[in-house]
């Protein structure tokens, strides 16, 4: 069965990954205005996230505006938002299931095989949640790259990667590693005895004269 230290490390990495996913989803810096070509550098930097768009001034002030209507958003942003929420919910569920199957907890009874299967199930759920987040980040990244290299996109409306998308990437990969360590709790079969019992009949204790 899996080592207790490996389970603790996997749980810790997954918890850090969950924090990264939540922070990355909330922050508005998924993409930021790019200054390319003849675009004049101004005192205002534009940011767009999954929930709002912000304008950051050189004086340190930031003004944000929440998106008014979901239906007005493009399909890539809607899909990214939905997949990130699903990924966070699955990560929370996976951490809850894994905590019941870890060797350092008293949940799940005293059956070591049962607890290992519970921890393995939690690790698999964590991996699925991380994959949802990876697909969301990849989808959004692809859209940024396509718009950036599209010759019909005005220069002053081109964006590049923001800090939030890298935080979300890091959180997803931490969940992958943590879920993999917890999924390594797959129980093995019962070991066979080292010295098998002999099939020979017991020798008679009678003495023959």
In order of their start, the domains of the chain are 4-27+69-154+162-183 (1.20.140.150)
Bridge partner residues of 53 (DSSP) = 48, 65
pLDDT at site 128: 95
pLDDT at site 45: 80
pLDDT at site 1: 44
pLDDT at site 114: 81
pLDDT at site 209: 44
Residues 6+ positions from 154 with CB-CB distance below 8 Å: none
pLDDT along the chain (209 residues), means of 10: 76 94 92 66 75 82 82 83 94 91 68 80 93 93 87 77 92 94 69 51 50
């Amino acid at each position: 069965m899996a080592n207790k230290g490996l389970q603790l490390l996997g749980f810790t990495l997954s918890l850090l990954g969950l924090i990264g996913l939540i922070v990355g989803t909330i922050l508005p810096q998924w993409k930021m205005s790019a200054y390319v070509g003849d675009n004049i550098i101004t005192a205002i930097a534009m940011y767009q996230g999954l929930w709002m768009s912000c304008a950051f001034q050189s004086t340190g002030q930031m003004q944000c505006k929440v998106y008014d209507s979901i239906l007005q958003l493009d399909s890539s942003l809607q899909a990214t938002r939905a997949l990130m929420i699903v990924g966070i919910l699955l990560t929370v569920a996976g951490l809850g299931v894994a905590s019941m199957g870890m060797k350092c907890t008293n949940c799940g009874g005293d059956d070591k095989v049962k607890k290992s299967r519970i921890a393995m199930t939690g690790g698999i759920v964590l991996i699925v949640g991380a994959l949802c987040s990876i697909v969301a980040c990849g989808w959004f990244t692809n859209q940024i790259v396509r718009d950036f290299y599209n010759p019909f996109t005005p220069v002053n409306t081109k964006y590049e990667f923001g800090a939030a998308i890298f935080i979300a990437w890091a959180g997803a990969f931490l969940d992958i590693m943590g879920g993999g360590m917890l999924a390594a709790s797959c129980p093995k079969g019962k070991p066979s005895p080292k010295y098998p019992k002999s099939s020979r009949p017991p020798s008679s204790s009678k003495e023959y004269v």
